[in-house]
Chains A and B, each alone.
Chain A
C-alpha cells in the first residue's frame, strides 16, 4: 500500500489519538506531525474516541488507558467486538503512564498492537508506528 517513491509515507494515513489531557494530546499531535502524519484525528476519551473511530475509520489508533467515561481497555474491547473487519483489524497502540503488570497483561490479552510507556521519545513512537503500519515481509 505504501509508495516509497513518495516522500512522505504517512501523508495519507488516518491516525486517531485518544488522550484526555489536552496538553499531552497536543504534544502527541506535534510528534505525529514531525513524523509526517497529516490526517490526525483527536478525541478526549473512549466514548468520543469511539464516535470518531466510526466517523473517520482510522488506519491506526494511539490510545491512552486511564480515561473517563470509557477507558482505553474498554475502548479496545468495544472496538474489537464491532464485527466490522476494518475495525477489528485496525492496529491500536496504547500510550500510557501505567506500567503496572496487571494492566500490561490485560492489554496483551486484548491483543493490543503496541504498548508504549510515557514519556515516549519521537524515535520510539515512530518505530512502533512503523512496525504496525509497514510490517516487514514475513
Chain B
C-alpha cells in the first residue's frame, strides 16, 4: 500500500515536472524575441556611455588646442614662446595619462615639445630610457644653427627646469605628416595610428593649426595621445556597465582596431609588435573584422555571425568635434543573452521541481497523517469500547465476587459442619477416606473463597500485617500437619527440616506466614504424584544486616513433582495465571494463591521465588525478615543426653532430620535400621515407621525398650491393637522436634507414656453429659445463635465432643439465661442476631461481671470473616472468634483451652451406637415436586436421613416464617429497613438450611436489594414471599410423610 502510494507520487511529480518544464520552455521561446530586443536596447544605451568615456580620452587634446590658440601666445615675442607654451602645456601633459606630449611646429622649422616620460604606471615602467624619465622639454628655436635643439628636464617639485644632457637627432616639424596635413588644408587632423618614436607606444597625434590674425599659419599644435588608455577606458567602462556588452572595441574610419579591452592588458605584446598584434583583428573571419564590414550597411543593430556564434552588434560614431573620428562596436553574445533566459527557465523548472517535491512530501505526509488519524480514531474507538467492556466486566466481576463468596459460604456452612460431624463418628478406613474427601473438598472450596477475599483485600490495600511473637516451630510444624492428610493420601513423604540452631520465638505475622506455607505446601502436594515434600527453614548467612534484630529466614518448600519450565516460572506469580491452562483442568485452583503469597511476602518485607526444572521438581522459597525474640535456640528442659535411640524404617531424609533434631538436644547414640526385621537389642527408644504392610507384631520380637510409632494420622489410626498396645508414644508425620524430644523423655521415663487412645480423632466421638451435670461442674456451654441450622450444628458438634450446651436464640435470651442460672463455662455467640447481637451481648456480660467475678470466656461465631472482626470482638470483650462453617478441630482446641473442667465429663460412646452412615447416604428420597420449593437433599446431607429430628427442624423452622414475612412487610411499610433486613436475613438462613430453596433465594435477593438501597425491588420481592411460602406449606404434609 505504501509502495503504491510512492509510485503514484513519483508519477505525479514527473507529470508536474514535465508540465512545468514545458510551460517554462514555451515561456522561454515567447520571451526570446523580447530578450533580444531588450539586449539591443541595452547595447544602444551602452554606446552612449562608451562614447562619453572615449570623448573624455580625446577631450584634453582638443581643450589644449583651444587653450593655446586662445592664449595670445603668438602675440608675444618669439623668444618668450617656449616659456609660455611650456607654462600652458606642461600641466595637461602631466595631468592626463593618455597625453604623451604636446608640441608646436612653426613654419620656420622651430619646434617646441613637452613630453611626459615620467613613470606614472606600469605602462611606462616597462618602456623608455630609465635615465630619461620625467617631464622633458625640447626647444628648437634656431633650426638653422641647432636643428637638434636642446633638452630641459622639468622638476615638478621645484617648478624649475634645468638643462638635460640628452641629445637627440635633428628634427624638422615641417617634414612630419601631422604638420604637413594641417599645413596643406588648414584644418585639424588626427593621424593614423603609429608608434611613438620616443616611447614606442601606440598612439595617434592630433594636430590643429593656429593662425595669425592675418590668417597666415602661426604654428601647428600637436598632441600625442596614447591609445593604450583608449583600450583601458573601454575596459573600465565595460566593467562599469556590468558587462552590458560582451565585446567592445573601437576602430578608426578605416576599420583598423584602435582600442580593445584585450589591448589594455597586453601592453608588452603591443609594445613589441603592435602591428602583429593588431593583425589578429584583421583576420577576415574574426568578429572584429566581420562586424565593421557588416554594420556599414543596414540598421545600426544587427546580428553578426562569427566563429560559430551569434552576436547582437551595434556601433556608434564618435563626434569628430569632440574626439578622434572613430567607431565603437558593442556586441552581445546571443548565447549569453539567451543563457540568462534559459537560466530563468531552469530556475523556474528547478523551482517547479522543488515545489513539486515539497508539495509531494507535504501531501504524502498529509495523506499519512490522515491515514494515521483515521487509524488512531478507529483504535481509540476500539479502546474505548474495550475499556467500556472491561469496566463493565470489572464491575460485574466485583459484584459477582462479593455475592458469590457470600452465597457460597452459607451452604458451605452446612457441608463443612456435617462433614466434620461425620468425621467424628466411628468410621472404618474407607468411610473415613470418604469423609476426608468431603472435608478436603470443602476446605479447598473455602480456601478459594478466602483467596478471592484476600486478594480483593490486598488489591484494595486493606490487608495489614501484624507483628506479634510466635513460635516458628509451631507455625511451620502446624502448617505441615495440615498438609499431612493430603500428603498421606497421595503416599508422599513429608519432611519438615527446621534448623535446630534457630531461635524459635520470632516477631512477625504467624497467620500470613502459615498462609504462605500452606499455599506453597498445598501446591507441592497437588503437583507431586510420588516422592517427597520437603519443608525447610534456615537462616540466610550472607546478609550483613541480618546481625540486627531482623534476621532474615529462608523458607523452602521442595517437591519432586512435575516441575516448571522457564516460561511457566515467569508467569507463575501473576494473578489468575497457572503454569498452563491444562494445569487448571487437571489440578484446579483459582490461580490466585501464588499471587497472594507474593504480595504477602512483599508486605512483610521479604521476597519469593522458585527454582525449578520440568520433571525435576520445584523449590518454592521465600525469605522474610523475622526478628528473634530471646537469644537461645530451644532445648528440651530435661537432659536427654543419656538416651540411645534407634530409627527403624525411616526414609533417608526423614531419618536425617530426626537425627539432627535429636543431636540438637544432646543425644549422641543414634542408630538407623532399614526395617523392623533387622532391628534388635536394647535402646532407650525405638522409633518405628508404621503404615500399611510395614509392620507386623512379630517384627518387634528382637526389640527391647520403649517404642514410638511414626506415621501419618491415618496410618497410626489403622495400627492393629496388638501393635498399638506396645506403643509408649505416637509420632505423626512430619516428625516434629518437640514430639521427638517428648518421645525420648517418655523413653527415659522422665514423662509418663502417652494415653494413646486420646491421640486419635475418632476418640472425639463422645456423648455429652446431662446438662445439669455439666452445670454443676461449671462446664455448660451457652450458645447464642438465631439460625436454626446452626443451632443444630453447634449442638451436634459440641455433643460429639462430649460437651453439653444450651441454646439461646438471641443475645437478650442468652443474657437472661446467664443472669438466671450459673454453671456456664463458655459462651459461644453468633455475631449477627436480632434483638441483641453478639457484640452487645459480650459488652453486657462484661459490664455485669464487674471486676471481681469469674471471667466467662466468650467466643464469637461469625459468617463474615471480614477485616476488623477480630478488633471488634476484642473491643467487645470477647476472647476469640470462630468463623463459620465451624472447624471442629478449632472448636476442640478452644474447648480444651477454655473449658478444661468439661473434659472429665465426656461420655464414651459405644461402637454400636454410631450412626448407620451407609443407610443415611441412601436416604435422599424421591420426590414428585419442584425441588425449588423444597429439596430434601439439603437435610439428608446434614442428618443422613430425613429423620424425625430433621422433620421437627423443618416444622419448627417453617412455623416461624409467616412471622418473618410479616416482619419484612411491616418493616418495609414503616420504612424500617433494618427491621425488614434482619427478618429477611433470618428467613434466608432458615429457609436455605432446611431446603426451601425458592423461599430462601427470594429472601436473599430481598436482603441484597435492601443492602443496595433499592426499596422498589425489595418491595416487589417482598410481595412474592407469601405465595412462595404458601407453595411450601401446601407441600408440608407431603414432606412430613416422607
| Interface residue ranges, A against B (CB under 8 Å) | 12, 14, 38-39, 50-51, 54-57, 84-85
Q: Are B400 and A85 in contact (CB under 8 A)?
A: yes
Q: Are A57 and B1001 in contact (CB under 8 A)?
A: yes
**Complex contacts, B1001 vs chain A, CB 8 Å:** 57
15 A-B pairs, CB-CB below 8 angstroms? Answer: A12-B931, A14-B932, A38-B930, A39-B930, A51-B1020, A51-B1024, A54-B1020, A54-B1021, A55-B1002, A55-B1027, A56-B932, A57-B932, A57-B998, A57-B1001, A84-B1005
**Any chain A CB within 8 A of the CB of B396?**
yes
A17 CB, nearest partner CB in chain B, Å: 15
A84 to B1027, CA, bound (A): 22
Q: Are A55 and B930 in contact (CB under 8 A)?
A: no
Q: Are B400 and A54 in contact (CB under 8 A)?
A: no
**Any chain A CB within 8 A of the CB of B191?**
no
Q: Are A55 and B396 in contact (CB under 8 A)?
A: no
**Complex contacts, A54 vs chain B, CB 8 Å:** 1002, 1005, 1020-1021, 1024
Q: Is the interface of B mostly helix, strand, loop or mixed?
A: helix
With A55-B998, A55-B1002, A55-B1027 known as contacts, the answer to whether A14 contacts B1020 (CB < 8 A) is no
Give the most central of B930, B1021, B1028: most A CB within 10 Å.
Answer: B930
A56 to B933, CA, bound (A): 9
A50 to B1024, CA, bound (A): 11
A50 to B1021, CA, bound (A): 11
Residue of B nearest to A55 (CB): B1024
Give the most central of A12, A38, A51, A54: most B CB within 10 Å.
Answer: A54
B247 CB, nearest partner CB in chain A, Å: 93
A55 CB, nearest partner CB in chain B, Å: 4
**Complex contacts, A14 vs chain B, CB 8 Å:** 930, 932
- Residue-wise, chain B 1009-1032 has the 8 Å CB interface mask toward A (1 for contact) of 000000000001101100110000
Within 8 A of A (CB), among B985-1042: 998, 1001-1002, 1005, 1020-1021, 1023-1024, 1027-1028
A55 to B933, CA, bound (A): 11
A8 CB, nearest partner CB in chain B, Å: 13
B679 CB, nearest partner CB in chain A, Å: 55
**Complex contacts, A55 vs chain B, CB 8 Å:** 998, 1002, 1024, 1027-1028
**Complex contacts, B930 vs chain A, CB 8 Å:** 14, 38-39
**Complex contacts, A84 vs chain B, CB 8 Å:** 1005
B219 CB, nearest partner CB in chain A, Å: 130
A68 CB, nearest partner CB in chain B, Å: 19
A50 to B1027, CA, bound (A): 14
Residue of A nearest to B399 (CB): A83
Residue of A nearest to B395 (CB): A83
A55 to B998, CA, bound (A): 7
**Complex contacts, B396 vs chain A, CB 8 Å:** 85
**Complex contacts, B932 vs chain A, CB 8 Å:** 14, 39, 56-57
Q: Are A56 and B1023 in contact (CB under 8 A)?
A: no
Would you list the 7 A-B pairs with minimal beta carbon distance, nearest first? A55-B1024, A39-B930, A54-B1024, A55-B1028, A51-B1024, A54-B1021, A54-B1020
**Complex contacts, B931 vs chain A, CB 8 Å:** 12
A106 to B396, CA, bound (A): 26
With A38-B930, A54-B1005, A84-B1005 known, 9 other A-B pairs at CB within 8 A are: A14-B930, A51-B1023, A54-B1020, A55-B998, A55-B1028, A56-B998, A57-B932, A57-B998, A85-B400
A53 CB, nearest partner CB in chain B, Å: 10
- Residue-wise, chain B 366-407 has the 8 Å CB interface mask toward A (1 for contact) of 000000000000000000000000000000100010000000
**Complex contacts, A50 vs chain B, CB 8 Å:** 1020
**Complex contacts, B400 vs chain A, CB 8 Å:** 85
Give the most central of A14, A51, A55: most B CB within 10 Å.
Answer: A55
Residue of A nearest to B931 (CB): A12
Residue of A nearest to B1021 (CB): A54
A81 to B866, CA, bound (A): 31
Residue of A nearest to B997 (CB): A57
- Residue-wise, chain B 534-571 has the 8 Å CB interface mask toward A (1 for contact) of 00000000000000000000000000000000000000
Residue of B nearest to A40 (CB): B930
A90 to B90, CA, bound (A): 132
**Complex contacts, B1027 vs chain A, CB 8 Å:** 55
